[in-house]
């Protein structure tokens, strides 16, 4: 073979390689960027996605972790503790309580797991989108995180919430909805999908496509769907109120969900005798419609489980009395006797959780068709 032939072939190869490189580069500019590998698979035993917060002098700095995952349900496993004694709690997304404060001794490490709902918007359905992905915050008196793992859990159970500002993921302190404090009570395997929204009535929740239409699209067969709407039905007549609740129940059942009707939390409005037996506290609206009574009757008529949160919260507020019960609401901070503090929301979430457990509604999911 001559030197001329060899040079010609080498030049042809170089030109072909150059053309291939140009074509690949051109193709890359037209294709969408690949999603992060950990958006669809287990990720993160280490802490490289976590950063220390700034110590403001008011207490230990919180540790924050960010995982740019796509919307869905995820199992999170954390190892808490370290060389020194610690006490760590976990919140995520829009101030959701995901793990209660956990104490560890010096040199002790414990592993805990929970399941979290990642969605857009991450808080109230009509609120801002929030930051994409999953954000976790490790706080408490002395937070210590040793390891973390995030794993997609597409078949996890969902506990879906429909409600108003007393239920929702409130964006700013001191306001706290009871649905915001519920996830920490459930642990791994059930994600709370809180679609409660401030200011909503049964009328507006059905009318706004960002609300009930979106909830229906998210329901998986066997999911529990809790409905607490009453505070803002101030001028809804009894027939309309019952028809709206029935439409919500029917829509949930049409998607394979299990509706649970929840009577509203009481307002902290005392009589002189220290009881709450009045229309304001017990949510009788301007037309004389007794919302808790209507819900109780409709639950019996439709055969849905009932959480009588009105009765449960009334008993608790009356037990504490006019002064001590202020701590459950924002009486001192905002002169607000309707919305709950973190303490009040936590206590009310426990009441809901205990009632669901007592009725055997947690941990049960009907088999899918075909046994899948």
State pLDDT tens for residues 82-110: 999 999 999 999 999 999 999 999 999 99
What pLDDT score was predicted for residue 43? 54
Calculate helix-pair angle for 238-254, 291-302, nearest 10 degrees.
40
d(CA 100, CA 205): 31
State pLDDT tens for residues 304-361: 999 999 999 999 999 999 999 999 999 999 999 999 999 999 999 999 999 999 999 9
Q: Per-residue pLDDT averaged across 109-114, rounded?
A: 97
Q: Per-residue pLDDT averaged across 58-74, rounded?
A: 84
What pLDDT score was predicted for residue 230? 98
Dihedrals φ, ψ of 210, to 5°? -75, -5
Q: Are 112 and 78 in contact (CB under 8 A)?
A: yes
CA torsion angle for 317, 320, 323, 328 (degrees, to 10)?
-50
Task: State the CB neighbour count (10 A cutoff) for residue 366.
Answer: 9
């Amino acid at each position: 073979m001559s030197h001329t032939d060899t040079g010609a072939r080498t030049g042809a190869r170089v030109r072909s390689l150059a053309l291939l490189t140009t074509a690949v580069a051109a193709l890359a500019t037209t294709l969408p960027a690949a999603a992060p590998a950990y958006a669809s698979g287990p990720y993160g035993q280490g802490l490289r996605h976590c950063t220390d917060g700034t110590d403001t002098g008011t207490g230990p700095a919180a540790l924050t972790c960010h995982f740019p995952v796509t919307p869905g349900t995820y199992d999170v496993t954390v190892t808490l503790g370290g060389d020194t004694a610690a006490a760590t709690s976990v919140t995520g997304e829009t101030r959701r309580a995901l793990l209660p404060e956990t104490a560890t001794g010096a040199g002790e490490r414990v592993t805990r797991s929970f399941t979290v709902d990642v969605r857009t918007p991450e808080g109230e359905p009509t609120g801002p989108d929030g930051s994409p992905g999953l954000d976790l915050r490790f706080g408490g008196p002395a937070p210590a995180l040793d390891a973390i793992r995030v794993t997609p859990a597409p078949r996890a159970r969902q506990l879906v919430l429909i409600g108003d500002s007393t239920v929702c993921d409130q964006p700013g302190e001191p306001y706290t909805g009871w649905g915001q404090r519920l996830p920490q009570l459930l642990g791994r395997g059930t994600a709370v999908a809180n679609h409660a929204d401030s200011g909503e009535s049964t009328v507006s929740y059905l009318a706004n496509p960002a609300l009930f239409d979106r909830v229906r699209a998210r329901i998986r067969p066997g999911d529990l769907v809790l409905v607490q709407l009453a505070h803002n039905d101030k001028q809804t007549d009894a027939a309309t109120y019952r028809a709206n609740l029935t439409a919500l129940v029917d829509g949930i059942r049409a998607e394979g969900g299990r509706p649970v009707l929840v009577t509203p939390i009481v307002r902290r409005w005392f009589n002189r005798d220290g009881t709450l037996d009045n229309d304001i506290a017990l949510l009788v609206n301007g037309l004389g419609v007794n919302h808790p009574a209507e819900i109780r009757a409709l639950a019996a008529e439709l055969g849905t489980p009932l959480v009588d949160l009105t009765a449960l919260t009334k008993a608790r507020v009356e037990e504490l009395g006019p002064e001590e019960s202020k701590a459950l609401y924002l009486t001192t901070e905002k002169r607000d006797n309707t919305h709950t503090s973190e303490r009040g929301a936590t206590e009310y979430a426990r009441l809901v959780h205990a009632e669901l457990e007592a009725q055997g509604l947690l941990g049960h999911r009907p088999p899918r068709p075909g046994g899948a």
